[in-house]
Structures are given as structure tokens and as C-alpha cells.
Structure 1
Amino acid sequence: MRRLLGALLILAMAVGVACGGGGGGGNPLEQSAATVNGEKIPADQIQQELAAFKKTAEYKQLAEQQGVDAISRQFEQVTLARLVRRAVLVPVAEQMGIEVSDEAIDQQIEQVKAQLPSEEAFDKALEERGFTLDEVKALFHDQLLEQKLQQKVTADSGPTEGRLREEYEADPAAFDETHYQHILVKKESTAQDLSAQLQKAPDGKVDSLFPQLAKKFSEDPSAAENSGDLGFLPAGQLVPEFEQAAAKLDVGEVSTPVQTEFGFHVIRVTGRRSLSFEEAKPQLEQELGASEGEAAWMSFVKKAYEDANVQINPRFGELDLDTQQIVNPGAESVPGAEAPQE
């Protein structure tokens, strides 16, 4: 419940529309927190949202931990960054013909409601945070719109066959895998007894004896399901002490007790293999596709910000184009941007 309410608070931070200001002479940032494509995001909008935030239990808790000034400044920066992001990306998505259906938004709302005990609890959570169902729907609209925009931008950004092969050939050993069995116990004496029993067993019986002992004695919660069989794993998936000890074993060999932060292990290596390029290809596609897709998306967003000619009132800080966050607040003050008197 508390986690959900915190999530709703984050939603509240992002709710709002970057309102277009009228004409007029003077500094374009006067009375504005920022301008995007020449349209103003009013400074008093940030202050109004901060005032609503100050009424929440989350604000009081954070203010006690971090101080009133620090948490207020962080809220202003986060809120302004979100409003600027909306003002930059929503028009771009709409220009590309991307739409979000009412049904998709309603599904998001229902997922949030499902985490609460009742409809009344959901309504109360909204009321306590001072925003309406329509505002939350507007937020989900923008989030879904950005997700669809990202999917469209990254759809053709996957790595080529040559790029995949280059990555594989740069370090083929990265695709070596080891098949492990293990028994985990708390007492070293128990591990010693189990190891001795397995090492004395005839080779033909270890295959059946190891899973029997693992299921009976292992304190690894997964042992009830897998009988101590961890399957084939690449390097780096297990704690170093475990992998270093296993690397010294021949296939079929059983270790003496190996201590890790979890207790004492009896380890058996049942196989080693090196994945071919074709076998490693799905993993490479996933890893490189994710990284190259993220790079394509970040490049797209950065250019969208540059094209939108985003200007930030120095009273709130300055825009970091690489992260799209507002940083270094209060460098100087622009007349008219001061917080309104309460």
C-alpha cells in the first residue's frame, strides 16, 4: 500500500500541461520556469504543484530527512524536467502519427486500482494528493505515448549480422558455460560428511546420489525443485568463491566444502561447453539490441530537445541535454520568476 502511494506521488509530480503563454515584450523567461518552442511553462505552475506536494505525508517525511529547502528544490527540478519533457516529446509523437487509445489508458488505471483494497481507497489516494482522475489519465496518456514513440524510433536500430559476429569473435570465452550441481549447508562438518560420501561413491552412482542428497540436506530454497541442479551458467552468475573452486574441478568431480557468504557448498561440475556463434546469437541480439536501441533513443531525444530550443529560467537551474534533467539551481534570478508570496 505504502509503495503504491509513493508511486502515485511520483505520478502527481508529472501531471500538468506546459501551458502556452501570450505575447509580450521583455525577457521570454519572465514569469516562466522555462520555454519550449517559444511556449511558456509558468513559474507559478511549479509553485502550485509544490504547494500541493507540501500537504502530503511523503513531503513531511522527506523534509525531516533532507531538509525543507533541499526537498523543495528537488521537487521543483523534477517537476520542471517532466513538464519540459512532455512539452518536447508529446508534439513530436503526435506529428509522427502516434496515438494512445482510451482503452490502453483505462488498463493502466485498472492495474493501479488492482493494487489497492477498494475503489474507495484509490479515490482517497487521489484526493490526498490533490489531483483528479482526469489528471492521472493525462499522465498515463503521455507515458504510453512516449513508450510508443521509443518503440518506433528503436524499431530499426538492431545490430547487423556483422556487428554480432564482431562482438562474438572479440571474446568467444565470454560464451563458455559450466553445468553445476551443489548442496548448500550451514555447518562445515555437514558439508565435509556429504563431500566424503559423494567422493567415496562409485562413479556410476554419483549421478543419482547427488540429487538425492541435495534434496534431503541442501538449504538452498531451490533444491526442493531442482535437486541442486543449477544448469549451464556463464561466468559471473555465481559468487566468486563458488566459481573459482568449480573452475579447478574436472567434469564429474566433487569438491571439498567451499565457503561463501551463504554457507558451505559441495560442488560438482557435470559439464562444460562453448557456445557457437549461432548459439550465442540470440543473447548477442538481446544485449546489443538493447544497448544500441537505448543509444538511438537517447540520440533522438537529445535532438528533439535541441530542435525545441528549450530555455530554462536560471532560478530553477540549467538543462543537462544528456540526461534531460535540471541541474545547478539558482545560478541567477530572472525578474518575475521568484516564488509567489503565500
Structure 2
Amino acid sequence: MKKIMSVVVSIILGISMTACGSSVKSEEVVATINEKNITSSYYEKTLALYKQSVESMYGATIWDTEVEKGVKYKDQFKDIMLQQMIDAEVMYQEAKKENLLPSKAEVDKKFKELKKDIDSDQEYKKSLEKIGIDDEYLKTQQEQDLALQNYKNNFNKTTKISDEEMKKYYEDHEKDYYRDEVKASHILISTVDKNNKPLSEAKKKEAKKKAEDVLKKAKAGEEFAALAKEYSDDPGSGSQGGDLGYFAKGQMVPEFEAVAYDLKVGEISDIVESQFGYHVIKVTDKIDEQTPYEEVKDSIKDTLLTEKFSEQIKKLSKEAKVEKNEDVIKKIKL
């Protein structure tokens, strides 16, 4: 469930197409941030925009999932979304103070581009209309997005990250920059159908015989990539000569991973059985090294800037005068 929360929190502007009903009057106020109101109508539309994005990842049943005793996900989702709206409004107000708002021409340009995309998808356009998303709402969102981006860009430009800070972060997170990876290719002879249902025992025996034949060819020195292109049932890697690229521990099924990490570079495995079928694996490279600080200092700087920006938003939101109308919030349904 923490993963779900982190996905929602990471979204700045999500798009969803599911309407949400409510008995709340549109002029009621959900929250006030430094005398700027978030109306229930605006809140409902924003909730609706996000809703399908979450459902597409986790299914429609996610809303009634209990995240803690007596608290369902739909209730926490509403709180998370409202806090994001409050944070966005606080940032917008700060951008305004710092003369970082976009020009009318910039907003109009982005709005025209958005409208063009929407108009090209009639089904999507109708779904937006169904939940009351009009041009005024879209234009407001475009202006806010541009303002927030300007604010973030300016923050990154003016915030100094010292070499000492970056080195300390590297030392504190040294394990994160240690690479223990394998690069391998494989040939998969599947034992499941297109719906991932197991094949019959007879078909499974045929698959194993085929895998054994392919293994003999590979061990005899036939080009592994050519064999993968001809025989592999893995649609993703088969056309690439079986190449899976580099992977770390935990990224492959346990049976596959154990053999791949045990093989030496250039070695070909015996048949490895997994839930997907029979694999013939060839390890093509291994990396076992600590990535030097100089190679990752730029990414560390980006990480520290992101952390500092997050701290800045929390600070601004904490200092802002925020009033929530819990009675109105409770009446709004997903």
C-alpha cells in the first residue's frame, strides 16, 4: 500500500475520465489557503481526473481496500489529493510573489496544444465533458502547471549544492551505487498459453524436447542469437537475439536469477525451468563494482535538489494559513 501512496504523491497533474457524483453544492468551500478558496466543484473535478489513472494501475476495487484499521483507501486518497492541491496553490502564490507567473501568450500556446490533443480523441473529449471539465478549468490548470514549473526551475537554479554535501550523500548511500549486475540472453520455450494458463502434460513434454534440442545446438557452437530469433517464445527478447540486457538481483524469477548469477561470462546453462517455461541462458557480461563518485555526482545533485525542493514545499505549506472544511470534504464521494 505504501507503493500506491507514493505513486499518487508523485503525480503533479493526473488525467482521469471517471465521473464522481456528489450532493455538495458547487459554491461550497473545501479549503482556504491564504484567503484563496478551493471550491467543492474544483475539488471534485480534480478527484475525477485522477481517479481512472489509479484504477488503471490497481483496479476499481482499490477504493474499498483498508489501508489501516477503519480507514479505506478512498478516504486517504481524498486527503492526499487535497494536500497536493494545497501545495500547488501555495507554490503558485509563491511564484506570483517572485514574478514567475507565465505570460498570457505562454498559457495560450500551451492551452491550444492541449485542446488540439483533446479534440483529436473524441472519446476522451466526451469523458472530460461528462465530468464537467471545461476550457476554464483546463486553462487554469495550464497556467498553474507553467507557474509551478517556473518556480521549480528557479529554485533549482538558485539553490546551491556543495561538493561536500554531494560527497556526504554518496558516502551515506554507498550501497546504492554498487553495481552487481548480470547481462544475459535466453531462449524460452514456453509451457503456458497466451493467457498464461499451463499447457497440457503432453504439450509440456513436447516443449521440453524442443528445449533440449535447442540446448544441444547452442552447446555445439551454433550462434546463440540466431537460435533465439528462430526458436524463442519470448516476444520481447526473441527478436533481439535473446538479449535481456543488464539486470540486478530481484528483477528475474528466482530460478532464472540463481543460474544466471552462477554462470561465468560466455557460459551456457543447462535447461532452467520456471513458471514461464524452459530457458536456455547465456551470460554475456557481469558487473561487480562500486560506481565512482565522479560518475554519479550529477545524479546526486539532482536527488539533493529534489529533496530540498520537497522540504521547501512542506515549509511553505506549514507557514501558509490553511483552513479545511471537514464537513464539506466528508460529503464529497468518489
Superposition TM-score, scaled by structure 2 size: 0.64
- The partner residue of 2:143 within 136, 141, 151 is 141
Name the structure 2 match of 1:36.
33
**1:7 maps to 2:7:** no
Measure the CA separation in 1 of the matches of 2:302 and 2:125. 38
The residue aligned with 1:335 is none
Output the amino acid matched with 1:114: D
Say which SS state the counterpart of residue 132 (structure 2) adopts: coil
Q: Distance in 2 between matches of 1:151 and 1:300?
A: 13
Identity of aligned residues (%): 25
Distance change (3 Å), C-alpha of 1:220 and 1:92? same
Asked if 1:114 is matched to 2:117, the reply is yes
Q: 1:297 aligns with which of 309, 325, 333?
A: 309
Describe the superposition over 1:207-257 as per-residue Cα deviations: whole angstroms up to 9, x where unpaired.
xx2111111101122345421123344434333321111122122221111
Q: Which residue of 1 aligns with 2:99?
A: 97
Indicate the residue corresponding to 2:40 in structure 1: 46
* CA distance in 1 between partners of 2:288 and 2:46 (Å): 58
Q: Does 1:240 align with 2:237?
A: no
Structure 2 portions without partners, runs of 5+: 1-13, 22-26, 65-71, 191-206
Give 1:213's aligned residue. Answer: 227
Query: For residue 179 of structure 1, what is the amino acid of its counterpart?
Result: K
Contact 2:263 2:269 in 1 (8 A): yes
Q: Which residue of 2 aligns with 1:151?
A: 153
Distance 1:295 1:234, change over 3 A: same
Highest CA radius of gyration, 1 or 2? Answer: 1
RMSD between aligned alpha carbons?
4.4
User: Does 1:260 find its partner at 2:265?
Assistant: no
**Structure 2 Cα separation of the partners of residues 83 and 181 of structure 1:** 46
In structure 1, runs of 5+ residues without a counterpart are 1-5, 14-18, 20-30, 318-328, 331-338
**What CA distance in whole angstroms lies between the structure 1 residues aligned with 2:295 and 2:18?**
36
Q: Which amino acid aligns with 1:166?
A: E
Distance in 2 (alpha carbons) for counterparts of 1:10 and 1:139: 18
Offset at residue 108 of structure 1 (A): 5.2
Aligned counterparts of 1:51 and 1:177: Cα–Cα separation in 2: 45
Identify the residue that residue 167 of structure 2 maps to in structure 1: 162
User: 1:106-142: per-residue Cα shift (whole Å, max 9, x none)?
Assistant: 3355245325546x77775554333431331111111
Quote the residue 1:336 is aligned against.
Answer: none
State the shift of 1:49 in Å.
6.5
Change (3 A) 1:246 1:284: farther
Aligned residues: 277
Normalising by structure 1, we get a TM-score of 0.63
Partner of 1:321: none
Deviation digits for residues 278-330 of structure 1 (CA, Å, limit 9, x no counterpart): 4x7545743x445433321221111111221212234357xxxxxxxxxxx59
Q: Is 1:179 aligned with 2:183?
A: yes
Rounded Cα–Cα distance in structure 2 between residues aligned with 1:35 and 1:183: 60
Conserved 8 A contact 2:18-2:131: no
Match of 1:197 among 193, 217, 221: 217
